[in-house]
Amino acid sequence: MDPRRYTSSTFGSAQREPGNKWAFDYFLPARLPRQLALDDKTVLALSDADSALGYLQGLGQLVRDPDLLIGPFVTREAVASSRIEGTRASLSDVLKAEQLNETERTNDTAEVIRYLRASRLGFDLINKLPISQRLICQIHEALMSGVRGEEKQPGTIRTSPVWIGSGTHRIEDAQYVAPLPVHIPDLLSDWEDFVNDLDSKLPVLARCALMHYQFETIHPFLDGNGRIGRLLVGLMLVNEKRLTRPLLYLSGYLENHRSEYYDRLQAVREKGEIQQWIQFFLRAVRDQALDSVKRASGIVALRERYLTESQKDRSRVAAIVPLIFRNPYISVQDVQQAVGVSDQGARDLLSKAEQYGWITKYTTIGRGGRTLWAAEEIYNIIEDPLDYDTENQESRI
């Protein structure tokens, strides 16, 4: 790490401790500011992001079954957040892998499914615990146990240095070296106080931006920091009552703007460019909130159509609807377990759903050759990029 690049001391400074067993340059973050004057561009970006988030919150309150939306959104976020860190698994790969035994999954899909479990745990814990070291350690343990990186001390604050941006893997060549372990307890304590400050006058979204920046800068774990840090944004918005359901996920935007994402974080450390970082963060919130509104509206409209169609039918085909919105890949075994019917009864319901055009027979997976049906209309809404055209969109399954 080149200390000469760190020209501003507003949000921290480059340090070196001669005689220490880790005698190299590293970055020591400053305490998070409890007050911060936002410039005009940031205020405008904040207004846009607040408005978009309000639309999303309103939709979540109006939907008859808001939990219907959470599964597809969480899965999409898990895929995007993991891809930022180098995992190569598509949305389709992960949805199909959920139908497999753990031993049949690839390393990449297993890693994303661990992220899904960590997300669900986080949104369960946020109803019981504040955002704290205890909470992040429990989520980290769920994320890192049993996958690549298990040797990186799941659920444990690191006790050795970490660095990023080194093509040679040498710490001397790193773009950024996180604070030494001795500083982490005090830094996390200040971070917790900032996140849970009920008297803060800073707007919630600006606090989220600062929270995420500081967490990524502290880098408290040996691995998994990025995924935990992005998950914390949704947790904080639910905790602050800005969302009643975890419907906002930023990783789709951050994956598409990965270089700028990392550059903006680094520019705060090197140059103190906090306004630019907050503006970038707020654009991500705005765009992803509007994307979520559009995607959720499509899901809700499709569900209502399916339920209306099923009302004309005397069979129990309506029981298929919640299953395919939870995961658009469905098997005979899924229907048997959920509806409580025989093998033939499940096949009859799947055949009826096929007649309605909800699903098509797709493929076989796993060692036992399990047959999957695919709900293409649902999948396309979940997977499609912003401004998708549902009428002219080709299947991507």
- Give residue limits of the domains in the chain: 3-294, 314-397
Q: pLDDT tens digits for 86-135?
A: 888 888 888 888 887 777 888 888 889 999 999 999 999 999 999 999 99
Query: Could you tell me if 282 and 210 are in contact, meaning their C-beta atoms sit under 8 angstroms apart?
Result: no
- pLDDT for res 396: 42
Q: Looking at the domain 314-397, which fold is it?
A: Arc Repressor Mutant, subunit A (1.10.10)
Q: Tell me what pLDDT residue 147 has.
A: 59
The CATH architecture annotation of domain 3-294 reads Orthogonal Bundle (1.10)
Q: How many CB atoms lie within 10 A of CB 391?
A: 5
- pLDDT at res. 390: 31
Q: What is the pLDDT of residue 385?
A: 64
Q: Helix, strand, or coil here: 118?
A: helix
Residue-wise pLDDT tens digits, 33-80: 999 999 999 999 999 999 999 999 888 777 777 677 778 788 888 888
Residue 238 and residue 246 in contact, taking contact as beta carbons nearer than 8 Å: yes
User: pLDDT of 315-327, one tens digit each?
Assistant: 889 999 999 998 9
Ranges of the chain with pLDDT below 70: 66, 147-150, 166-167, 366, 368, 385-397
- Residue 339 amino acid letter: V
- Token readout for 132 is 């704290």
List, in sequence order, every beta strand (DSSP E) within 123-175: 163-164
Residue-wise DSSP of 165-199: --TTS-GGG-SEEPPPGGGHHHHHHHHHHHHT-TT
